[in-house]
Structure 1
Amino acid sequence: MFTIGQKFCLRGFFGAALAVLSAGTAIAQSDVATDATEPVATADSAPKSVKPGINKSFLNKELDVQSYVDRFETESREIFRARQSIVDAIGLKPGDRIADVGTGTGLFVEPFSEAVGKDGWVFATDIAPKFLERVERLIEMKSLNNASAVLSGQDDVRLPPNSVDVLFVCDVYHHFEFPSQSLYSIFRAVRPGGHFVIIDFNRIPGESRPWLLDHVRAGKEVFRSEIEDAGFEFVEEVEIPEFQENYFLRFRRPGNGG
């Protein structure tokens, strides 16, 4: 019998492998990437936490998922109000493979599934098994045959190399306890020429709410620098009409492919 974690890892891996192979991209090809597309960051053997314990509550076996649904999927949340604008700004095409890293309650799984179509794939990843149980129920209930749940680690998204066209992180980057290691795995998961999209809170001392200043460890410039240091190229900041406290940044992994 598999544990919950093993179940999600296996399903996620086979889903990712299927999506990559169906697109004609062998996973093994990543091992012959040129220097220009190899990760700049390295996976340290002893990663250092930048904010110890920030994700402790999500690992609780008794996690109250409904309380997060009530918080995340409501008109009072900026991201929820802007969800269609966000999907439009990402610019997904039929056949694309997208990873929703830190999917949480699965807010974007269905719209992403619709955007990439039957020939695309959605990997909904999270470190919280309880969130993924909800996502699996959503996938089954909505008959989303192009989506799978993946249990990620706190320093590894656990996706095969070159497996996605777009990797999306929404109000989650500041929860990366080991950002350099997480970015290493993200860089490898995004195909050369693919995009890394990050949405996060705009932390501005003297302007942002006290909760935000305490919760989010750094501002946009620091996060952008970390991502560029990992090997990504900055593409643009996209204006989302509904945003007041968040920002949308698009990065690209160097290499051919668009």
Structure 2
Amino acid sequence: MDASPNIKDGGFLNPESVVGDFGVMPGMRIADFGCGAGHIGIITAQKIGKEGKLIALDIMEDKLDSFRARAKALGLENVEVKRANLEVPGNTGITENTQDMVLLINILFQSQKKPEIVREAKRVLKPGGSVVLIEWKKGSGAPSGQAGLGPPDDLRTDTNAMQGILAVEGFKFSRSFNVGQFHYGMIFTK
């Protein structure tokens, strides 16, 4: 069993601890690409405070509705929730060079257009901004067609290949961080 505070019992992510490992600071402007229902984004919005802003983006309206409801219930006024196809350049509607950080949490495995999503992250990031990436570990899933935790293993990208995708788009690898037996975490700088 992993003794890291980033991991809950059973090897799953501890969102509060993981967000603390990103280097999130009050006042930051952060885009959460593929935000889902907000397991990471809501905590991030709380940490950046009223001076900061979180833009939560997803293509699935039901996930965005859940995110909106959670943000409203918590009184978070620093959150903008919007629908976007991350595979289409500029579809986020975010102005270039305005974000301190982009979160790519369990999103790239879902896309055949990973470079397009990474390019959009680069477009919206300020110079020196960071991409925080968490993905499913290759080798920790079931083969296609079999039940297992997370996506089938053939949809997962190993860490070396993922570093290559970001390097081609001009990102520099900064560091890895522990997110348990099922995921890997990496931070890249523009």
Structure 1: which amino acid aligns with 2:142?
Answer: R
1:104 aligns with 2:36: yes
Query: Which structure shows the bigger proportion of residues in helix conformation?
Result: 1
TM-score normalised by L of structure 1 = 0.62
Q: Distance in 1 between matches of 2:163 and 2:33?
A: 17
In the alignment, what sits opposite 2:71? 139
- Alignment check: 8 A CA contact 1:154 1:178 kept: no
Give the drift of 1:76.
Answer: 6.1
Give the drift of 1:113.
Answer: 1.5
**Number of aligned residue pairs:** 174
Give the drift of 1:208.
Answer: 4.5
Give the drift of 1:227.
Answer: 0.8
CA shift digits 1:4-25 (9 cap, x unpaired):
xxxxxxxxxxxxxxxxxxxxxx
Structure 1: which amino acid aligns with 2:58?
Answer: D
In the alignment, what sits opposite 1:130? 62
Give the drift of 1:217.
Answer: 4.1
In the alignment, what sits opposite 1:149? 81
Distance 1:98 1:219, change over 3 A: same
Q: Distance in 2 between matches of 1:95 and 1:83?
A: 20
1:246 aligns with 2:187: no
Over 3 Å off, 4+ runs: 74-77, 211-215
Q: Spell out the pairing of 1:2-21 with structure 2 (5 A cutoff).
A: none
Between 226-235 and 212-221, report the one with greater CA deviation. 212-221
Q: Distance in 2 between matches of 1:125 and 1:186?
A: 12
1:114 aligns with 2:46: yes
Distance 1:151 1:224, change over 3 A: same
CA shift digits 1:16-42 (9 cap, x unpaired):
xxxxxxxxxxxxxxxxxxxxxxxxxxx
Q: Distance in 1 between matches of 2:15 and 2:61?
A: 24
Q: Spell out the pairing of 1:172-191 with structure 2 (5 A cutoff).
A: 172-191=107-126
Structure 2: which amino acid aligns with 1:185?
Answer: E
Q: Please give the root-mean-square deviation of Cα atoms over the aligned residues, in Å.
A: 2.1
1:235 aligns with 2:167: no
- Alignment check: 8 A CA contact 1:154 1:176 kept: no
Give the drift of 1:177.
Answer: 2.8
Q: Distance in 2 between matches of 1:226 and 1:91?
A: 23
- Alignment check: 8 A CA contact 1:102 1:170 kept: yes
Query: Highest CA radius of gyration, 1 or 2?
Result: 1
SS of the residue corresponding to residue 71 of structure 2 reads: helix
SS of the residue corresponding to residue 85 of structure 1 reads: helix
Structure 2: which amino acid aligns with 1:218?
Answer: T
